[in-house]
Structure 1
Amino acid sequence: MRAYGFTAVGGPEHEAFLDVPEPVAGAGELLVRVLAAGVNPGDRRLREGAHGVEPPAVLGREVAGTVVALGPGTAGFAVGDEVFGGCPGMVGGWAPLARVTASFAAHRPVGVSSVDAAVLPVAAGTAHDALTGLDLPAGATLVVNGAGGGVGVAVVQLAAARGLRVVGVASPAKHDLLRRFGTVPVAYGTGVLDRVRAAAPSGVDAVFDLVGGAALRTVASLVGDRSRLRSVADKPLVAELGGADVARDRSTAVLAELARLVAAGGLDPHVTRVVGFDDARAALAAVERGHEAGKVVLEIG
């Protein structure tokens, strides 16, 4: 079958359409005919050698589609089910057929499109797990550093639904969007600590970072208790600062809850670009530039 991936570790020049065998569902896996697949910064990192994925490999870590075959140990699913979920090894989704981990898959509810469902496992799933790990009480103040990206937009919505006060650090172009989701936006750059403190005069209870580097080091000073500091952008630095990475759940229960929120209107996956499969290179390039206002989806089926 025709799939999109990379032939060598490195830059986008190594991306290509590949001719690969059709996958077979293994133990604990569903074989899914893919309708839509999410495009994430993590796909770029895989191409650059993250997680030790050996090329040639098919990109794509999250999909939505129709179950066409079941591996052993997949109770609760049947051929013909409309599902969404994560791909084993974080690869394989940008193809007409993909393996999906049954324990990280859920049924797609009526009223939730395959395009919206396809982007829930990575961004919204990470946001959900970050908030679960922080376990903040209603009324607490959370600073989201890099609130305008895919994970950021999800976490500010989920935080607001938990009754948290949210201050989002983001570029000014994304401030109106953050306000729409109940977040107080502040701009990056010199003086960011003063702007955050003005927006949160009662103090900051936790920080969730999606930027890393010097920006993470700066906002870390907002919390005295570094156990309330999380980052998915710079694992070595957040550990040095006394915080932690986000412990991922990757369960059916989390995905089902996220889909329920989407169906009820409590979570907007914020897909702003849907790209045909033939334009997979352009889709990843758009995400790699980092200026997308929302989630990008490949429509494959």
Structure 2
Amino acid sequence: MSKAYVFTRFGGPEVEAFVDQQPPEPGPGQLLVAVRAAGVNPVDWKLRAGKRRPGSPPAEFPEVLGSEVAGVVEAVGAGVEGFAVGDAVFGNPDTGGYAEHTLLPASLAAHKPARLTFAEAAALPVAVATAYDGVRQLDLPAGATLLITGVGGGVGVAAAQLARHFGIRVVGTASAGKKDFVESLGAVHVPPGPDLADRVRAAAPGGRVDAVFDLVGGEDLVAAASLLPAAERRGKLITAAAKETVADLGGAAVARARTSEVLEAVARLAEDGVLRPQVTATYPLERAGEALRAVEDGHARGKVVIEVGA
């Protein structure tokens, strides 16, 4: 049997539970992976709460939590090329990540670089890939200034590192307790809260920003949008947190590529030291609920990862 951490219906933490289940069988185009590490993301608790993307298939309870993993291939489905039993891989699973086994579509998988730990690789498919897609979407020149709201979380940390690598100046909002951490990324720290736009102008070089990468939504997104002329927002105001709100403000959601090519690209950047996954907390599978609470409560710094196997 294989242990997994699931939610049994839509709701809060009270609907989460451990279950024992048979390891799934890989279908065409899939890999059966023995999970070594699973990244924890805000999307995990949002899905548990019933916040599903339009057009998503209906939930089949119990549903395993988790949307990014790293592990070792145990079986290969029909039609899969480029992967073999024993390969260390990472990617976005079809059947959840907080588990001892999962199914990984080969089209959303990549080989784990030898220099990265499984925990580091598990931080790449959602948070780092989202940051990569977003920074590429903004397409800012060197010397431009980017505001990242919620820079202290997994996506924000990666986005700040990528932007700095491309010569982009970064101003980031995060709680006062994350100030030193944010500044270690080469970003100018601004605490969130009232009069955010004025405080960003005071902190930004030249008193202006050229683009906004939002990871928070709400009032901070509205304040950040006011820093950009309305005519520029479609290309320079993006969010990974509040798609409907950003559309009303004239911006756009992060356009996710979700391909093996993107995973391979971020893996190379991590292996070369351009990106540091910044795994700041790890939990065993037996404490998966605590790991999710750390992210759901909004106080996590960097990336939280669940370590599953040896």
TM-score w.r.t. structure 2 length?
A: 0.93
SS state of the match for residue 70, structure 2?
strand
Residue 226 of structure 1 is aligned with which of 233, 253, 258?
233
Residue 87 of structure 1 is aligned with which of 86, 93, 99?
93
In 2, Cα distance between equivalents of 1:101 and 1:183? 36
Aligned partner letter, 1:23: P
Q: Does 1:291 align with 2:292?
A: no
Residue 98 of structure 1 is aligned with which of 91, 102, 120?
102
In 2, Cα distance between equivalents of 1:17 and 1:49? 19
Q: 1:98: Cα distance to partner?
A: 0.6
In 2, Cα distance between equivalents of 1:113 and 1:245? 31
Match of 1:78 in 2: 84
Matches within 5 A, 1:1-301: 1-51=2-52, 52-88=58-94, 91-200=95-204, 201=206, 203-224=208-229, 225-227=232-234, 228-301=236-309
1:119-152 Cα shifts (integer Å, max 9, x gaps):
1111001000101111111111111011111111
Paired residues of 1:33 and 1:65 also in contact (CA < 8 A): yes
TM-score w.r.t. structure 1 length?
A: 0.96
In 2, Cα distance between equivalents of 1:166 and 1:87? 32
1:143-199 Cα shifts (integer Å, max 9, x gaps):
101111111111100111111111111111112111111111111122322221122
In 2, Cα distance between equivalents of 1:34 and 1:41? 20
Aligned partner letter, 1:210: L
Q: 1:202: Cα distance to partner?
A: 5.4
1:204-229 Cα shifts (integer Å, max 9, x gaps):
11101111111111110111111110
Q: 1:75: Cα distance to partner?
A: 1.2
Paired residues of 1:30 and 1:101 also in contact (CA < 8 A): yes
Q: How many pairs does the alignment contain?
A: 299
5+ residue gaps, structure 1: none
Q: 1:20: Cα distance to partner?
A: 2.1
In 2, Cα distance between equivalents of 1:208 and 1:53? 30
In 1, Cα distance between equivalents of 2:59 and 2:214? 26
Paired residues of 1:116 and 1:271 also in contact (CA < 8 A): yes
1:266-293 Cα shifts (integer Å, max 9, x gaps):
1111111111111111111121111111
Deviates more, 1:126-135 or 1:24-33: 24-33
Aligned partner letter, 2:233: R
Kindly report the root-mean-square deviation, in angstroms, between the aligned alpha carbons of the 2 structures: 1.3
SS state of the match for residue 290, structure 1?
coil
SS state of the match for residue 50, structure 1?
coil
In 2, Cα distance between equivalents of 1:43 and 1:7? 14
Aligned partner letter, 2:92: G
SS state of the match for residue 25, structure 1?
coil
Q: 1:27: Cα distance to partner?
A: 2.0
SS state of the match for residue 91, structure 2?
strand
1:232-253 Cα shifts (integer Å, max 9, x gaps):
1111110011101111111112
Paired residues of 1:46 and 1:53 also in contact (CA < 8 A): no
Paired residues of 1:4 and 1:18 also in contact (CA < 8 A): yes
In 2, Cα distance between equivalents of 1:29 and 1:136? 37
In 2, Cα distance between equivalents of 1:47 and 1:202? 41
In 1, Cα distance between equivalents of 2:282 and 2:192? 29
In 2, Cα distance between equivalents of 1:5 and 1:78? 28
In 2, Cα distance between equivalents of 1:116 and 1:66? 14
